[in-house]
């Protein structure tokens, strides 16, 4: 069997490993086991704080929070880009099925304490945009209680 990988990373989840210690451990393992020789030729990266696997952040809490923050701000930025869509139904569907789904994926695969504050920011942004589009701007004088109901 041939392993053809363009990009390969090794993650050491043990916080006692420094980056240099992890690199040394990886290089020692590759030298000690001929079956791992192909990994040396691939230029494998060594990570000690975290990595993204199939869109899911895996790593230490600080790294995961940073990853989720970037994803949340990306969604918030993209939500604002949808303001040019004038059709209310299409706008609502794009928000619910495209933007909201991006954070929902993270929500299913990331521990709640690491993302709840960012999920709340994205939810608030989406609700605000839906209200603005749905009321034609009439929601500006709504009370905070009425906005929460929305």
- Residues 16-71 pLDDT 10s: 778 888 888 888 888 888 887 777 667 677 777 888 777 788 888 888 888 888 98
Which of 59, 48, 44, 50 is closest to 20 using CA atoms? 48
Q: To 5 degrees, how large is the angle CA 120–CA 92–CA 149?
A: 50
| Residue 3 pLDDT greater than 70, yes or no | no
Q: For residues 105 and 75, what is the distance between their CA atoms, to the nearest angstrom? A: 12
Q: Which of 42, 40, 46 is nearest to 14 (CA)?
A: 46
Percent of residues, the chain, with pLDDT higher than 70: 83
Residue 149's pLDDT is what?
66
As beta bridge partners, residue 56 has 53
Confidence of residue 120 (pLDDT cuts 50, 70, 90): confident
Q: Average model confidence (pLDDT) for the chain?
A: 79
Tell me which range, 28-42, 60-74, 100-114, 126-140, is most confidently predicted by mean pLDDT. Answer: 60-74
Tell me which of 62-71, 110-119, 126-135, 137-146 is least confident.
137-146
pLDDT confidence bin for 140, thresholds 50/70/90: low
User: Averaged over 80-86, what is the pLDDT?
Assistant: 85
Residue 103 in contact with residue 72, Cβ under 8 Å? yes
Inform me whether the pLDDT recorded for 10 exceeds 70.
yes
């Amino acid at each position: 069997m041939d392993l053809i990988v363009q990009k390969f990373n090794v993650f050491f989840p043990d916080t006692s490993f420094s980056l240099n210690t992890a690199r040394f451990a990886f290089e020692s393992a590759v030298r000690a086991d001929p079956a791992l020789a192909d990994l040396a030729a691939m230029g494998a990266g060594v990570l000690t704080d975290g990595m993204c696997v199939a869109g899911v952040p895996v790593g230490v809490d600080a790294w995961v929070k940073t990853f989720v923050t970037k994803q949340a701000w990306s969604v918030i930025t993209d939500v604002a880009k949808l303001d040019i869509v004038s059709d209310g139904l299409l706008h609502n569907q794009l928000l619910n099925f495209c933007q909201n789904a991006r954070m929902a994926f993270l929500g299913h695969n990331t521990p709640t304490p690491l993302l709840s504050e960012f999920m709340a920011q994205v939810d608030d942004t989406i609700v605000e945009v839906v209200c603005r589009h749905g009321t034609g701007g009439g929601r500006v004088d709504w009370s905070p209680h009425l906005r929460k109901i929305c």
